[in-house]
Amino acid sequence: MLRNVLLGIGIAGLLAGFALWITGTPGPALDLLVGCGVLTVAVALERWRYVRTVNRGRGRWQRTDERFVDPATGRLTDVYYNPDTGERDYRPVDSPGGR
């Protein structure tokens, strides 16, 4: 939700910046174009940059007592912890790596 709002603000700001540029006010237009351009690119690339990857073959994975229903999938999920790296892994209970 917040991501969509920020993308909307960024795109609206870019359109306003282009409109100001065309009407002959390059100072404010440049401010809007740069600021909203950075916002739009940052929000668009955020999901690509911060993809969570877990190497399940490295370290000693231990199942914790934590268990919850994942709100995105609605599946029961176990939490595993790797004391060697400090990583946490979330595995659906009915998956091959889960219980």
Binned at pLDDT 50, 70 and 90, residue 68 comes out as very high
The pLDDT, as a whole number, for residue 31 is 94
Q: Tell me, what's the pLDDT at 45?
A: 86
* pTM, to two decimals: 0.52
Q: Which residue has the tokens 């914790």?
A: 64
For residue 45, the tally of other CB atoms under 10 A from its CB is 10
Beta pairing class for 88-92 and 76-81? antiparallel
